[in-house]
Amino acid sequence: MTVIKVAILGFGTVGEGVYRTIESHADDLEAVLGKKVEVAAILIKNKQRERNIRKNILVTTNFEDILNLPKLDIVIEAIVNKEPTYTFLQKAIERGCHIITANKEMFAHHGKQLIELAEQNNVSVGFEATVAGGIPVIQTLKQLLKINRVQQIQGILNGTSNFILTEMREKKWSFAEALLQAQENGYAEADPTNDVEGFDAFYKTMILSRLAFGEEPNWQDVEREGITSITSELIDAAEKLGLRFKHIASISNERGQIQVSVKPALVGKENPFYHVEGVENAVSVHSDIVGRITLQGPGAGMFPTASAVIEDLVYVCLNTQKDRSFKVEDTAVSDQQRSCKEELWFVHAQSNYFQSLPSNLIEQTFKQTYIIRATKREVEGLANQDKEISYFPIVGEYQTANEDKVLTAQ
Ligand SMILES: NC(=O)c1ccc[n+]([C@@H]2O[C@H](COP(=O)([O-])OP(=O)(O)OC[C@H]3O[C@@H](n4cnc5c(N)ncnc54)[C@H](OP(=O)(O)O)[C@@H]3O)[C@@H](O)[C@H]2O)c1
């Protein structure tokens, strides 16, 4: 019987999870693929570290050893940083291997080039693990894109930020206290910038935008904001109004224009994101035939991420069809259009400034927090007059705290 030979680049959380899953699910893989899947080699950086790897597997720090294997079908990449990863994967494709990656930062930067190179070399690229860990969002989108037209994708894509916001609300902790807990639990790195400033969610959002709409906006034009400005006071005021803070990535295609933001927003009880807590991720896809689908699950971790990689392994072995995505003619985001649409805003002010606002703007108040209906330009205008004002959009339907009104945000 022929064998599918695999190399795994990296033996950290993801790489080891993939290795163990290939071992534990060997019979299932053979049953589905009609061939045995065999790990031929593993690339690591530190040769001194003890690892539980079978003796007949090549363990090396030199990628050329992997390229020189007599037979190699798939290269699975689970290392960090853009380089040397991108170079390794280019070489793997040129050698005729399918590639599968979990590395969102690298794939957000170089995914387009890798997919083009793979097409030229008649191999496939799997990237399910780059977005929302174990949630099969990439395959779901590929399935939907066959006929449905995707109009909007929203997601809670960073488990660390969601954990911090949940802990701040439930335990009445400060941002610093919740971050420390995230670090102690191993969810946040010693340098948490990528997570709490929204870069990690931003990379995932660019990958989704490219898949769903065939293009991504100029990175500089995307509103990207992390969760560091959210205080316990804001979280408490939101709760009193029946709202929860979530860090939400949003991509929509409005009449051919892609609009993308990655920032904190508020959701009411009716929104499926309201109940997404702790390190969980969720993705909500709105498309023309099916309507809204929401997927929720573990966004990271050894086996959830390995699950995404293994599903990709099956996909690249079995699938030879070209995937469709929508081409968008003009991807420039019109600031003017965006600023003229009325939305619901959660606005917090230290002063009594808002008492002088026209009453038609104000929907709800709680102490110094106001829910107002206004355009982005109007809210920015208010904030310019008072530097202590902070404002966040409310996403989806919101039932007001006294439950006498249901407001539709956007
Ligand atoms: N952790 C998750 O839950 C998760 C989920 C989705 C996606 N991802 C992505 O998956 C990738 C791997 O994440 P991870 O959490 O598994 O990282 P990790 O635990 O830090 O492991 C990284 C592995 O890569 C190896 N490595 C790093 N640089 C290398 C180089 N230049 N050459 C060869 N090997 C190198 C390391 O080798 P040594 O062992 O020798 O140090 C280590 O085995 C990242 O891109 C991450 O963003 C992670």
Element (H, E) at 200: helix 199-213
pLDDT at 220: 94
Architecture of domain 3-126: 3-Layer(aba) Sandwich (3.40)
pLDDT reported for residue 381: 85
Answer whether residue 207 shows pLDDT above 60: yes
Provide the pLDDT for residue 349: 84
| Percent over 90 (pLDDT), the chain | 75
- Answer yes or no: CATH 3.40.50 is held by domain 335-408: no
Q: Ligand 1, residue 11: give the atom nearest the CA.
A: 43
Query: What pLDDT does 245 receive?
Result: 98
Instruction: Give me the numbers of helices (H) and strands (E) for the chain, helices first please.
Output: 14, 18
pLDDT, position 2: 87
How far does the centroid of ligand 1 lie from the alpha carbon of residue 399, in Å?
Answer: 43
The more confidently predicted of residues 301 and 385 is: 301
Rg (CA), the chain: 23
CB of 44 sitting under 6 A from ligand 1: yes
Rounded to 5 degrees, φ, ψ at 323 are -85, 145
State how far the Cα of 366 lies from the Cα of 242, in Å rounded to an integer.
Answer: 11
Ligand 1 geometric centre to CA of 377 (Å)? 43
> How much distance in Å is there from the Cα of 30 to the middle of ligand 1?
27
Q: Domain limits of the chain?
A: 3-126, 137-297, 335-408
Residue pair 262/224 in contact (Cβ under 8 Å)? The answer is yes
Q: Does the beta carbon of 49 sit less than 6 angstroms from any atom of ligand 1?
A: yes
Candidate of 8, 9, 13, 309 to mutate for ligand 1, largest count of ligand atoms within 8 Å of Cβ: 13
Q: Does the active-site annotation cover 204?
A: yes
State the average pLDDT for the chain: 90
Catalytic one of 5, 104, 142, 204: 204
Pick from 37-41, 161-165, 326-330: least confident = 326-330
pLDDT at 313: 98
Among 300, 294, 264, which Cα is nearest to 132's? Answer: 300
Between 23 and 341, residue with greater pLDDT: 23
Which residue CA neighbors atom 11 of ligand 1 most closely? 78
- The answer to whether the CB of 379 falls within 8 A of the CB of 345 is yes
Q: What is the pLDDT of residue 374?
A: 86
The DSSP code sequence of 74-139 is EEEE---SSTTHHHHHHHHHHTT-EEEE--HHHHHHHHHHHHHHHHHTT--EE-GGGSSTTS-HHH
The CATH number assigned to the domain with range 137-297 reads 3.30.360.10
At residue 257, the pLDDT reads 84
